Amino acid sequence: MEVISFVALAAGLIIGLGAIGACIGIGIMGSKYLESAARQPELMGELQTKMFLLAGLIDAAFIIGTGIALWFATANPFLGQIANLPK
């Protein structure tokens, strides 16, 4: 297999697994928010603020992973080192 095919596979795994992790994390966090808001409705405003902040951080981690994957796919810094390896 060529090096570029491994890069495409790695980029796909980074983006795919990052998306799965972010979706699962936001889903669990949303369910816990609804559960805690149902138990203590007077704290709903504070909990909602914290939930949106954490949802943004979870999405930021996924977006950073996507950016790194796209960087590897377009300007792979390891391509020169791998090309010089003996076959």
Question: Tokens 């090309």 sit at which residue?
Answer: 83
Is residue 19 over pLDDT 80?
yes
What is the fold, at CATH topology level, of the domain defined by 3-76?
F1FO ATP Synthase (1.20.20)
Q: What is the pLDDT of residue 73?
A: 82
Q: How much is the average pLDDT of 4-11? A: 83
Which residues does the annotation mark as catalytic? Answer: 59
User: The tokens of 12 are what?
Assistant: 């796909």
Looking at residue 4, its pLDDT comes to: 72
Among 67, 62, 64, CA closest to 26:
62
Percent of the chain scored above 70 by pLDDT?
A: 87
Q: State how far Cα 16 lies from the chain centre.
A: 8
